[in-house]
């Protein structure tokens, strides 16, 4: 229902780190940049974001890796699952959509950094596609 306050939970593979999101998603997007590819060991990473105050770790502790100055990549130091992306220049707090208990809850609308897209990844042309950051 529109305007309804939604709560979503998610976590890492081993269950040590659990988080909760409150409120609406501010965006959902696939990022094809090389940094995301390496961080996740995958062709691209799908993010969904909320306002920073709507993100909370509710169990365990997230470890942070600074992949670029001012950028925080959160992960579980027991199982290695990539969990989040945030930074000094980012108004939203992004989580890896696939770590949600219900990953279908956020539907990606955008591809970012298609300049780094791997040749074996096919873009959904119905989405908004950006060469770099939108």
Locate 52 and state its tokens: 């920073």
The span of 32-40, 88-96, 103-111, 126-134 binding Zn ion (CB under 5 A) equals 32-40
Question: Which of 79, 102, 124, 131 contacts Zn ion by CB under 5 A?
Answer: 79
Structure token digits, residue 92: 């939203």
Q: List, in order, residues 6 or more apart from 106 with CB less than 8 Å away.
A: 25, 28, 48, 97, 100
Q: How far is the CB of 4 from Zn ion (least distance, A)?
A: 30
Q: Does 14 bind Zn ion (CB under 5 A)?
A: yes
100 DSSP 8-state letter = B
User: Is residue 12 close enough to count as binding Zn ion by CB under 5 A?
Assistant: yes
* C-alpha to C-alpha distance for 24 and 65, rounded to whole angstroms: 26
Of 23-31, 50-58, 100-108, 115-123: span binding Zn ion (CB under 5 A): 23-31
Q: How far is the CB of 41 from Zn ion (least distance, A)?
A: 13
């Amino acid at each position: 229902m529109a305007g309804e306050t939604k709560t979503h939970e998610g976590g890492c593979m081993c269950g040590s780190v659990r988080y909760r999101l409150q409120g609406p998603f501010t965006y959902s997007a696939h990022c094809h940049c090389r940094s995301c590819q390496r961080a996740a060991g995958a062709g691209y990473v799908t993010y969904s974001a909320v306002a920073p105050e709507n993100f909370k770790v509710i169990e365990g502790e997230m470890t942070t890796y600074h992949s670029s100055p001012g950028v925080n990549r959160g992960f579980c130091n027991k199982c290695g699952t990539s969990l989040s992306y945030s930074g000094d220049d980012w108004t939203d707090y992004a989580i890896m959509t696939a770590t949600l208990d219900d990953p279908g809850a956020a539907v990606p609308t955008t591809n970012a950094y298609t300049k780094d897209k791997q040749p074996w990844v096919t873009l959904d042309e119905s989405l908004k596609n950006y060469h770099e950051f939108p």
